[in-house]
A and B are shown apart, each in its own frame.
Chain A
Amino acid sequence: MTPQAFLATSGLLGLFVLAAGVYGVLYGMGRLRESQRLMKAATVAYAALCGIVAAIVLATPLGFGWKLLIGASAAIYYAIPPITWRHLHRTHRDRGAQA
C-alpha cells in the first residue's frame, strides 16, 4: 500500500460510516416529519454511501475479503434505520394501546 493509498483508503472508510450516520439521521427525520424531501435527502445520502463503497472497491488496495465485508456492511446500513424505526414505532404504539 502506498502512502497516498493509505490516506485515501482511511479517509474513505471514515466517510463511509459518516454517510451511514447522515442517512440514518435524515431517514429518521423524514419519517418523523413525514417529509418527502427529507426522505429523498436520505436516499441521496445512501447513494453517496454506495458511491464511497464503489470507490473503496475499485480504487483501494484492500483485499477482496475486506471489500466484501464493506459491501455487506453497506447493505446492513441500508436496513438498520427502517428496521429500527418500525420496531420503535410498534413498541411505542403497543404500549400506547395498553395504556
Chain B
Amino acid sequence: MSRSQLLAIKYLMAAIAFFGVMTLTGLLSAAYYVKPDLLFGLLHFNIAKILHIDTLIIWLLMGFMGAVYWFLPEEFGREPEGIWLAELLFWVFCAAVLVVALIFIFVQWGPGTEQTLWLFQQGRKYVEAPRWAAIGVATVMLVFAWNIVGTAIKAQRITGIMAILSINTVPLVLLYLVAFPAISNMAVDLYWWWWLVHLWVEATWEILIGCIMALAVMQLLGTSRKIVEGWLYIEVALVLGTGILGLGHHYFWIGTPDYWLGIGGFFSALEPLPLLGMVVHAVYDAGTHRMQTTNKPAFYWTLAEAFGNFLGGGAFGFMITLPQLNLFAHGTQWTVSHGHFAFWGAYACGVISICYIALQKFRALAAVEGRLWIWSFAALNFGLLGMVGSLLVSGMAQAFFERAIGGSTLEAFVATQENPWFVLGMDARLGFGLLFAAGYVALVWDLATLGRRAPVRAVAAPAE
C-alpha cells in the first residue's frame, strides 16, 4: 500500500465522518421546522443549517481528494510529488474544519469589521468560513493540484484522464479565490459568488467526479482505458457546453441584465441531455456485466450515481429552471428538494462507491458481499427519495400559495408556513430523514466491519 493510498483512506474516513455531521445537522435543521422552539437559546436554526451545508461541501471535497489520492499512484506508477505535504495538510484541514465548526457553534458572529471576516465568519452561504480557514482550504487545494500536476511532470507521462484532471485543478483553485473578497454591492457580490458555487459544483466538480468514476469503472468492471477516456472526453464537452452558461439560471433575480433570463433558461434546458446518455451507458454496463462484479456495493452505488444525477439534476431541475417558473419556485423548499437530489446523485453516490473500491483493496477482500450494504443502500436511497419528495410537496405549496397566489408578501409567507400541505411535507421530510440517518449508521457499520464478514485473499491486479 503506497503512502498516497494510505492518505486516501484517511481522507475517505474523514469524508464519511463529516457525512455523519452533515446528516446529524440536517436532521436537526429538519426538526426545527416541526418544533420551532427546539434548542431555543442553545443552538439556532441558522447555525445548524450552516453546519449542514458546509459539511456537505467538505465531505464531498474530502471524498474527491481521497479518491484522487487513491488512484494517483496507480496512474503514474509512483508516489505523488510532495505527498509529505499532503499528509501534513490532511491533519491541518481536519483541525481547521473542527475549529470553524466550534466558532460557528459558540461564537457565531462578531461586529461588522474586518476582524470578524478574518476570525469568525465571512457570512456568505457555503463559504461562511473565516478568512484564515479559507486560506487554509486554498492552500490544501494548491497542494492537491501540485500533487497531481507535479507527479505528471516528474513521471514524464500522462494519461488522458490525468490530463483532464490536471487541467481541471486550475479552475478548481482559481474559482475558490472568489471566497475572499467582501464586496458591499450585493448584486455584484452574488454575481461572483455564483461563479464559485455554480462553476465549482456544475463544472469543475462534474469533471472531477467524471475522472474519478472513469478510474473507478476501469477498476470495477475492467473496462478498457480507451473506451473510458473516449466517453470522458464526450462527457466533459457536453457538461461544460451546457453547464457553464447554465450558470445563468442563478442570475435571474439578483439584479443582472435581462439577457440572462434567455441564456440561463436555454442552457439549463440543455443540461439534462448529456445525463440521459449517462443513464443509457449505465444500463449498457450493468447489462453487459450481468450485474456480476466482485464489489457489488461499489457497482450499485455507481449505478445509483447515474440514475440519481439524471433524476435529481435533470428531472427535478427542469421543473424549476425556466425563468417564468423559477420566478415562483426559487428559494422555496422546491429548490431545496432539487439541491438535495442533485448533490446526492451527482456526487455522494460516487464517493460512497469509491469508499467500497478502496476498502476492497485496503483489506485485501476477494469479494465485497453481505447483506448490510443492501440495507444501507436501500435506507439511504429510499430515505433520500422520501426527503426530496416531501420537500417537493412543501415547495410546491410555497410556490403556489405564497408566491403565485399570495404575491410573495410577508402575510402570504406566514400563512403558507401553516398550510397543511407545507406542514405535511416538512413532517414527512423529518421522518424520511430519520430513515436516511439509519441508512448512514448501517453504511458506517458496513464499512467498518467489511473485512470481518467477507472472504479474504490477495487481490489480483485489475483487468484491463
Contacts and interface: CB of A to CB of B under 8 A. Distances in A.
Interface of A: 1-3, 6-7, 9-11, 13-14, 16-18, 20-21, 24-25, 27-29, 32-33, 61-63, 66, 69-70, 73, 76-77, 80-81, 84-85, 88, 91-92, 95
Contacts, number: 109
B253 to A, nearest CB: 16
Contact of A95 (B226, B310, B328): B226
B279 A62 contact: no
B319 A14 contact: yes
A76 B277 CA distance: 11
Contacts of A69: 266, 269
Q: Is the interface of A mostly helix, strand, loop or mixed?
A: helix
* Of listed B226, B287, B322, residue having the most chain A CB within 10 A: B322
Contacts of B399: 6-7, 10
Contacts of B389: none
B227 A91 contact: yes
The 9 closest A-B pairs by CB, nearest first: A28-B283, A3-B404, A32-B287, A14-B319, A17-B315, A84-B280, A17-B318, A84-B277, A18-B315
Nearest to A1: B324
22 contacts: A3-B404, A6-B328, A7-B400, A9-B325, A10-B320, A10-B325, A13-B322, A14-B316, A21-B279, A21-B307, A28-B280, A66-B324, A69-B269, A70-B269, A76-B273, A77-B273, A80-B273, A81-B276, A84-B277, A88-B284, A91-B226, A95-B227
Interface string B441-453: 0000000000000
Given A21-B310, A95-B227, A88 B325 contact: no
B270 interface: yes
B311 interface: yes
Given A6-B328, A14-B316, A25 B230 contact: no
Interface of B: 224, 226-227, 230, 265-266, 269-270, 272-273, 276-277, 279-281, 283-284, 287-288, 307, 310-311, 314-316, 318-320, 322, 324-325, 328-329, 396, 399-400, 404-405
Contacts of B287: 28-29, 32-33
Contacts of B281: 84, 88
B269 A20 contact: no
Contacts of A25: 279-280, 283
B227 A92 contact: yes
Q: Is the interface of B mostly helix, strand, loop or mixed?
A: helix
Given A6-B325, A10-B399, A95-B224, 19 more contacts: A1-B324, A6-B399, A6-B400, A7-B404, A13-B318, A14-B315, A16-B318, A17-B310, A21-B279, A28-B279, A62-B324, A63-B324, A66-B324, A69-B269, A73-B270, A73-B273, A76-B273, A77-B273, A77-B276
Contacts of B316: 14
A29 B400 contact: no
A80 B280 CA distance: 9
A5 to B, nearest CB: 9
Contacts of A61: 324
Contacts of B311: 18, 21
B284 A32 contact: yes
A50 to B, nearest CB: 16
A73 B269 contact: yes
Contacts of B405: 3
Contact of B288 (A11, A76, A92): A92
A83 to B, nearest CB: 8
Contacts of B284: 28, 32, 84-85, 88
A61 B325 CA distance: 11
A63 B280 CA distance: 31
* Of listed B265, B283, B310, B320, residue having the most chain A CB within 10 A: B283
A66 B311 CA distance: 21
Contact of A24 (B265, B269, B283, B320): B283
B339 to A, nearest CB: 15
Nearest to B266: A69
A24 B276 contact: yes
Nearest to B282: A28
Nearest to A81: B280
Contacts of A81: 276, 280
A88 B266 CA distance: 28
Nearest to B274: A80
Contacts of A24: 276, 279-280, 283
Contacts of A9: 324-325
A8 to B, nearest CB: 11
A25 B277 CA distance: 10
A21 B283 CA distance: 11
A74 B276 CA distance: 12
Contacts of B320: 10
Contacts of A66: 265, 269, 322, 324
Contact of B276 (A6, A7, A14, A80): A80
* Of listed B266, B281, B315, B329, residue having the most chain A CB within 10 A: B315
B288 A32 contact: yes
A21 B266 contact: no
